[in-house]
Chains A and B, each alone.
Chain A
């Protein structure tokens, strides 16, 4: 568990250090590695899951208010 955590920290710090270094290089450095090994799709999947969850939540509230409005009338 601890090992995993420290690895995660290393990864995060590595990424941050990358960002800082990239500002000084001749060619603007982009996250090309993330794109070439396909890991970017993981990020897209996570963001889409959150977005769909949020929309489902708002939809359920919408339906609930619909029911409330119909009951009162």
Chain B
């Protein structure tokens, strides 16, 4: 019997996220108004993506240390679900920005398109997109696994500079940029309101566990498919 408690934990945390996230008190802020509740959904997608990409990075290194194809499958599927979370985060971000970033006449679609956080996130997702293109372009399984594992390490090395560091060196409308009074939203204990934190952290864990669950399903399917290739 496998241990499944964390799947139930994920369900409970996400039920709490929706009930608490929609009903509990949030700080009353200008411009953001009720949309601050997106913190429990939009931001969690990005956190989930970063955690899944980190796991993928771990398995790529593990693959390169022993050349066990099993680890390559793990790395591939974690990256796939991570990229999916990233796309969801990007899509929800466009919706949120559409209603909160265009607040006066000087801000238009043009100013949003120049937004460094958006460009950085797009670069990061495209780099991971290239990972899947690279994987698909090999016919030799071992070569595919080796080169894509090395590429995955490069992609992970580019991830944090492009989504965190560069947007913070230049001005940005996104919270956390220089000039805005929020230093490190979501992680800094002084910045984020304690009412938000009570739902936000469980939400991150819940969404990430759901992502991990979906990934384990994809891994198990792939292992079934490739059973003849993997010598355990």
B217 partner, pick from A19, A30, A31, A58, beta carbons under 8 A: A58
> Could you tell me the distance in whole angstroms from the C-beta of B141 to the nearest C-beta in chain A?
20
Q: For the complex, count residues of A whose C-beta is within 8 A of B.
A: 24
Instruction: State whether the Cβ of A40 lies closer than 8 Å to any Cβ in chain B.
Output: yes
> Could you tell me the distance in whole angstroms from the C-beta of A20 to the nearest C-beta in chain B?
9
A19-B99, A72-B227 in contact; A28/B33 too (CB < 8 A)? yes
- Name B4's closest neighbour in chain A (CB-CB): A62
Check if A44 sits within 8 Å of B14, measured CB to CB: no
Instruction: State whether the Cβ of B103 lies closer than 8 Å to any Cβ in chain A.
Output: yes
Instruction: State whether the Cβ of A1 lies closer than 8 Å to any Cβ in chain B.
Output: no
Per the bound structure, the CA–CA distance linking A47 and B15 in Å amounts to 9
Instruction: State whether the Cβ of B29 lies closer than 8 Å to any Cβ in chain A.
Output: yes
Instruction: State whether the Cβ of A43 lies closer than 8 Å to any Cβ in chain B.
Output: yes
Check if B28 sits within 8 Å of A65, measured CB to CB: no
Neighbouring A residues of B14 by C-beta, 8 Å: 51, 55
Q: For the complex, count residues of B whose C-beta is within 8 A of A.
A: 25
Neighbouring B residues of A65 by C-beta, 8 Å: 217, 220-221, 224
Check if A44 sits within 8 Å of B18, measured CB to CB: yes
- Name B10's closest neighbour in chain A (CB-CB): A55
> Which positions 21-69 of chain A face chain B at CB distance < 8 Å?
22-23, 27-31, 40, 43-44, 47-48, 51-52, 55, 58-59, 61-62, 65, 68-69
If A23-B31, A58-B214 are given as contacts, then 18 extra A-B residue pairs at C-beta distance below 8 Å, sorted by A number, are A19-B33, A19-B99, A28-B28, A29-B33, A30-B26, A30-B28, A30-B33, A31-B34, A43-B22, A47-B22, A48-B18, A51-B15, A55-B11, A62-B7, A62-B213, A62-B217, A65-B221, A65-B224
Binding site for B on A (CB under 8 A): 19, 22-23, 27-31, 40, 43-44, 47-48, 51-52, 55, 58-59, 61-62, 65, 68-69, 72
Binding site for A on B (CB under 8 A): 7, 11, 14-15, 18-19, 22-23, 26, 28-31, 33-34, 99, 103, 210, 213-214, 217, 220-221, 224, 227
Among all A-B residue pairs, the 10 with the closest Cβ atoms: A28-B28, A47-B18, A65-B220, A31-B34, A28-B30, A44-B22, A55-B11, A23-B31, A30-B34, A61-B217
